[in-house]
Amino acid sequence: MSRDTELQRARFLIEYVRSFMRDEPELNRLVAGKEHSDKLIAMALFDTLERVRMMSPPIPVDDLPLPILRTGAVIFLLQSVGLLMTRNHISYRTGRGTGIGLSDRIPQLMNWIQLLQADFKETAKEWKISQNLARALGGSTLHSEYALINGLYGYWGLG
């Protein structure tokens, strides 16, 4: 893949994640401009690839489906926002006993992260298993002596 093609794909993926997150200046009422930089979204995409690469079975993840890549990146971005909110959390009480908390969206973020993580882990694991099976049935795997044993049992009618 040429460098220009890789850059175009990277730009597409960044905009794909940004569109899913609805991270557009006109939609961000509390944040001036975009909440996530292109660099942070690129880090989220890279982190997602690494997370899936670490899952078993160990197979290449160069052709990871977009929904898995997107969901993993969104989890990373929500975790990043949650860390920032936690670090900058302030509670304020007025003289009349009314409490105001800045960054009180942390429980909502945690719920979204948990919901998305469950979906991400299950979907990524299923994809990796299906890819591993496809590679095994396609002949691009290591040879195993179990194939020989299984073949002999079938030949002698023992299986």
3-state secondary structure at position 101: strand
Beta bridge partners of 92: 100
Q: Supply the pTM of this predicted model.
A: 0.70
Phi then psi for residue 16, to 5 deg, are -60, -50
| pLDDT tens-digit profile, the chain (159 residues) | 678 888 888 889 998 998 888 877 676 666 667 778 889 899 999 999 999 999 888 888 878 899 999 999 999 999 988 887 787 766 666 667 666 665 667 788 888 899 999 999 999 999 998 888 888 777 555 555 555 555 544 544 554
* HSE-CB for 122 with a 13 A CA cutoff: 6
DSSP 8-state secondary structure symbol assigned to residue 102: E
- Please give the full DSSP string across 22-44, using - where no structure is assigned: T--TTT-SSSSS-SS-HHHHHHH
